[in-house]
Amino acid sequence: MSAMSATSGTSAPPQYAIAAEGLRKRYGETRAADGVSFEVENGEFYGILGPNGAGKTTTMELVEGLREPDEGRATLLGIPSWPRKPALLRRIGVQLQASSFFERLTAHEQIHTFAALYDVPPDRADAMLETVGLTEKAGTREDRLSGGQAQRLSIACALVHDPELVFLDEPTTGLDPQARRNLWDLLRHINGEGRTVVLTTHSMDEAEALCDRVAVMDHGRVLKVGAPRALMAEAGVDNLEDVFLQLTGREYRE
Amino acid sequence: MSTTEARRARRTRAFASLSLAMTRGLLRDRAAVFFTLLFPLMFLLLFGALFKDDSSEPAHLVQVGDVKMLDSLPEGERAGLREVLEITKTDGSRAARDEALEKLRKGDTDAVVHQGDGPGALVLRFSAADQVRSATIRGVLDSVVQHANQRATGQPPAYRLTAGQVEDESTKPIQFLTPGLLGWAVAMSGVFGSAFNLVSWRRKRLLRRLWLAPVGAGSVIGARVGVTLATAMVQTALFLGVAVTPYYGLRLSGSWWLCVPLVLCGTLAFLSIGLLVGSFAKTEESANGLSQIVILPMAFLSGSFFPLEAAPQWVRTVSEFLPLKHLATAMQDVLSRGEGWGAALPVMGGLLAFAAVMTLIASRLFRWDAA
Ligand SMILES: Nc1ncnc2c1ncn2[C@@H]1O[C@H](COP(=O)(O)OP(=O)(O)OP(=O)(O)O)[C@@H](O)[C@H]1O
Ligand SMILES: [Mg+2]
């Protein structure tokens, strides 16, 4: 909370937490992002949906400033995310789709290293480990954590510094039902504190349960944006999965 | 003012935690510990023992039967002789002489002496296997004979030669092995360690994760520099610790401590090669291969394993361009040849300049991401 009030103290807060305008990224022949534009309000819980290869991860990485867009730009909290700015990076938290840890370090050492990189006190790191239910696994090395445990550690590292804006790329993939519910509670809680959360997911009930608005993507483009209820009403169906299938087609894709 | 201080404190903490994470990762990698610390040390232990300078041990001489001149030596001269010559006396039989010559052929003794025809004749047989020792024995016996002649004729010698060995003018093997192998060791950990670390962190996507954390490339590289310099200091301590033991017998001269800044500068030079390799290589395997391609020829051409005095001219010309050669030579100078800043400073400057150029190239090729 203190971080929030500090940033909105003197000047008026930017209108949007995220504003993406015409983002394009091409890998050879593949147009991974093909003119993506969207806005996320301050304090909003935003979901990005789409089939495999739709360009969700690419879009997130362009917005985060991890990759340079071929065209277009993204501003986070009113600041362009490219080129990289440490002052901005302090205010955002990122969990990447593939987890990445310091080699041969334990869960405890990982989160404490990240805590030091973001200059937050060590007890905050321990508390975060507790929050994601990894206290018992604190002494386990990164390569000996289960898939879901690694996922939880990666989320803990993304949240350790109380970011104002959180990006989570498929955070609940690989989590057991309890851990999934616990993470939902955690995300609702931090969103309730006024922080903006953006996540991608393949779980429609997750999007329905958590998101204020979702963007459905395919082929590097945003097909539709809206609140889950509004999208369902518009399509005349009673669940988000049918909306998704209507928009993106039913066939298997390569 | 307080914000700059706070920023500096933050940066220090980030740097310290990255260094700690790197050190822990390194120490928990048994293979890495073995290859950076123990493997090169094994070479020193082995080469040091193999090429050990054993000329200080007395040469061995078998005396077959009575030899008038040796038997009648005054006690004082006999004691002096015993320091350089260990004489075993056998009986004068034909069989004993054959046995002694057989021993000589097998290298079990260095020379055989027996009475020749007539009371004044002395026959010395020696092997050509160890020419240094044969020469020593010939020289010693020659002077014994001359002394005996003087005694017999009662003439004082017209000329007298006083010879004294000048320590460390000639190169004892341990003197070039220690700096050479230590240079090779810091080159290995500098090039390998940093190249492998960079590629591995990139491949495991840790670099892109760090890209999204508020740390600069400087902190990441800086942590690697710190860890590599610390490793080099441990290597230096281990190598010198082993080399100065009486068994290996390296004697340190005046400004030997100058090897510390020399090793630090050398490590920076090798680290910059590692950064270049690590920026260029895409996989851990290619980082390994490329590092080997750089290190092994450089070590041989720089005379890390054997001295270059006997090498062809072109090898010596090539070696002039290799940082390891200059590091090893300068270390040899300050460690045991009694040289000081004059020998160390130009080399340190050269190594730092080399490091700067390579780092500049590496930074142009640096990628946070494998894609
Ligand atoms: N580094 C890369 N190099 C080449 N092509 C890439 C790269 N990253 C992504 N792509 C391509 O871009 C397209 C979009 O990929 P992206 O990872 O954004 O999809 P996604 O929506 O996140 O999929 P998923 O649901 O499987 O995570 C894919 O066709 C992929 O093959
Ligand atoms: Mg993805």
* A192-210 pLDDT, tens digit each: 999 999 999 999 999 999 9
Q: Does A235 touch chain B (CB under 8 A)?
A: no
Interval A201-248: pLDDT, tens: 999 999 999 999 999 999 999 999 999 999 999 999 989 999 999 999
* First-residue to last-residue Cα distance in chain B: 41
Which tokens is B315 given? Answer: 């090898």
Q: Please, which residues bridge with residue A73 across strands?
A: A21
Query: Which 8-state DSSP code applies to residue B162?
Result: -
Check residue A26 and give its pLDDT: 95
Q: What pLDDT, on a 0 to 100 scale, did the predictor assign at position A202? A: 95
Q: What's the confidence (pLDDT) of residue B57?
A: 62
Min Cα distance A197 → chain B (Å) is: 17
Residue A96 sits at the chain B interface (C-beta within 8 Å): yes
For residue B213, which residues of chain A lie inside 8 Å, CB to CB? 89, 114, 117-118
Whether the pLDDT of residue A12 is over 70: the answer is no
The predicted complex's ipTM stands at: 0.87
Residue A228 CB-density burial (10 A; 0-12 exposed, 13-18 middle, 19+ buried): buried
| pLDDT for the residue numbered B170 | 54
Distance B251 CA to ligand 1 centre (A): 63
DSSP B188-232: HIIIIIHHHHHHHHHHTTHHHHHHTTT--HHHHHHHHHHHHHHHH
**Which residues of chain B does A92 touch, with a Cβ-Cβ cutoff of 8 Å?**
212
Residue whose Cα lies nearest atom 29 of ligand 1: it is A53
Distance A24 CA to ligand 2 centre (A): 16
Which residues touch A180 (CB under 8 Å, ≥6 apart)?
Answer: A172, A206
Which atom of ligand 1 is least distant from the CA of A54?
Answer: 21
If you compute the radius of gyration of chain B from its CA atoms, what whole number of angstroms results?
29
In chain A, what is the straight-line distance between the N-terminal and C-terminal CA atoms, in Å? Answer: 45
Sheet (strand A79-80) strand order = A30-41, A16-27, A71-76, A79-80
Beta pairing partners, A47: A199, A214
pTM: 0.79
Structural domains in chain A, sorted by start: 15-91+165-172+195-254 (3.40.50.300)
Res A6: pLDDT: 45
**Mode of pairing for the β-strands spanning A30-41 and A16-27:** antiparallel
Indicate the pLDDT class of residue A2, thresholds 50, 70 and 90.
very low
Interface probe, candidates A25, A114, A119, A168, chain B, greatest B C-beta count within 10 A: A119
pLDDT confidence of residue B53: 61
Output the CA A251–ligand 1 centroid distance in Å.
Answer: 19
* Percent of chain A predicted with pLDDT > 70: 93
From the CA of A95, the nearest ligand is 2
Q: If you take atom 6 of ligand 1, which residue's CA is the nearest one?
A: A27
pLDDT value at residue B371:
65
Q: Is B213 on the interface with A (CB under 8 A)?
A: yes
Cβ distance of B20 and A114 shorter than 8 Å: no
| Residue ranges in chain B whose pLDDT is less than 70 | 1-2, 53-58, 83, 129-132, 156-171, 371
Residue that the structure tokens 């508020």 belong to? B214
Place of tokens 């989160």: A111
Look at residue A134 and tell me whether its pLDDT is greater than 60: yes
pLDDT at residue A167 greater than cutoff 50? yes
Can you say how many angstroms the Cα of residue B356 is from the centroid of all Cα atoms in its chain?
A: 27
Residue where the block lists tokens 């593939």: A98
d(Cα B31, Cα B189) in Å, to the nearest integer?
12
Residue A94, SS3? strand
Q: What is the C-alpha separation between B218 and A236, in angstroms, rounded? A: 55
Which residues are paired to A197 by β-bridges? Answer: A45, A166
Residue A97 and residue A108 in contact, taking contact as beta carbons nearer than 8 Å: no
- For chain B, the average pLDDT equals 85
- Which residues on neighbouring strands pair with residue A183, listed in sequence order? none
Contact call for residues B277 and B191 (beta carbons, < 8 A): yes
Instruction: Categorize the per-residue pLDDT at A4 as very low, low, confident or very high, splitting at 50, 70 and 90.
Output: very low
Residue to substitute in A23, A27, A68, A254 for testing ligand 1 pocket (most ligand atoms within 8 angstroms of CB): A27
Q: What is the pLDDT of residues B44-60, one digit of tens each?
A: 999 888 887 655 566 78
**Across the interface, which of B21, B209, B214 has its CB nearest the CB of A100?**
B209
Cβ of B216 within 8 Å of Cβ of A86? The answer is yes
Q: What is the pLDDT of residue B225?
A: 93
Cβ contact B178:B335 at 8 Å: yes
Lowest pLDDT segment from A1-15, A166-180, B62-76, B277-291: A1-15
Task: Check residue B369 and give its pLDDT.
Answer: 80
Model confidence over B117-136: pLDDT tens digits?
877 788 888 877 666 677 77
Position B172 scores a pLDDT of 78
- Does A178 have pLDDT greater than 80? yes
Q: Are A212 and A198 in contact (CB under 8 A)?
A: no
Q: Do B209 and A84 touch (CB under 8 A)?
A: no
pLDDT at A250 over 70: no
Q: Which residues surround ligand 2, an ion (CB under 5 A)?
A: A 56-57, 97
Output the CA A77–ligand 2 centroid distance in Å: 23
CB A102 within 8 A of CB A142: yes
